[in-house]
Amino acid sequence: MKAIKNWDNKTWLSSKAYINSFNKFLIKNANLKSNSKILDIGCGRGKILGNLSTKLKLENRPIGIDIESHKDKDKKIFFKKIDGINFFKSNNKRFDLILIKQTIHLLKMSEIKKLIKLCKNNLLVEGQIFIFTLDPVRNEIPTFKKMHLKLQQSLSKDKKIINFIIKTNKCIKKKFIYKVKIKKQKYLKMVKDRYISTLLDFNLKDIEKGCEEIRLKFQNEIKFRDKLRCIVIKK
């Protein structure tokens, strides 16, 4: 599985406004409290967990795991460099919330099935799994032509994953929408940093050509809605 190194590095996804909005959604919908025990699978730099820890004054240090270890991780989390399946092999804790945000599409279907089973087995009685994916139908992420084609392939997989999860588990469906306003130059920097998995396989020539398309296609300030599907699984 490839690591996405820069999704939360100076992007709208790492902004205070985005994290506050996302965590407001989580606190309300997952009914989080100061004694909640939280695990984030694919936590990146742990900024979402760190913010949650501050907001809720968490009594239990939240756990974040990722296959990429960053030097600038949030200090309020307990971090472990490991994937979700291997984490549960030695885990003896139970959780109120297991968060899987925009990473599940990087797994094979067999791995997804195994991971969800492990997550369910490691929930507390009232615990929940929150799985977030890009909206596969009404997606508004700014793209260039080659990126758009690759993104559609990825979203097609997301759709299959969502359908599989819904068919094999008792689920509640929710949506999270964040209105993005970003300077074109900043977005171009994100594209060059390959902030989304869609861009990981592109070579430098692809990226440079794509950036030129974006320069011509969009105004100096790019506006769109970052739309996520949320699947909630209970034990």
For the stretch 149-162, pLDDT in tens is 999 999 999 999 99
For the stretch 77-118, pLDDT in tens is 999 999 999 999 999 999 999 999 999 999 999 999 999 999
> Would you state the structure tokens that stand for residue 105, as one six-digit string?
């599409």
For the stretch 126-177, pLDDT in tens is 999 999 999 999 899 999 999 999 999 999 999 999 999 999 999 999 999 9
The 221-234 sheet, strands edge to edge: 78-81, 63-66, 38-41, 95-101, 123-134, 221-234, 171-183
Which pTM value belongs to this model? 0.92
Of all residues in the chain, the percent with pLDDT exceeding 90 is 88
Residue 1: predicted pLDDT: 53
Torsion of CA 214, 215, 216, 221, to 10 degrees: 90
For the stretch 27-36, pLDDT in tens is 999 999 999 9
Is residue 6 pLDDT above 80, yes or no? no
Confidence of residue 71 (pLDDT cuts 50, 70, 90): confident
Task: Determine the CATH number of domain 12-234.
Answer: 3.40.50.150
Is residue 3 pLDDT above 70, yes or no? no
Q: Do 229 and 160 meet the contact criterion of CB atoms below 8 Å apart?
A: no
Confidence of residue 70 (pLDDT cuts 50, 70, 90): confident
Distance CA 78, CA 76 (A): 7
Q: Write phi, then psi, for 147 (nearest 5 degrees).
A: -65, -40
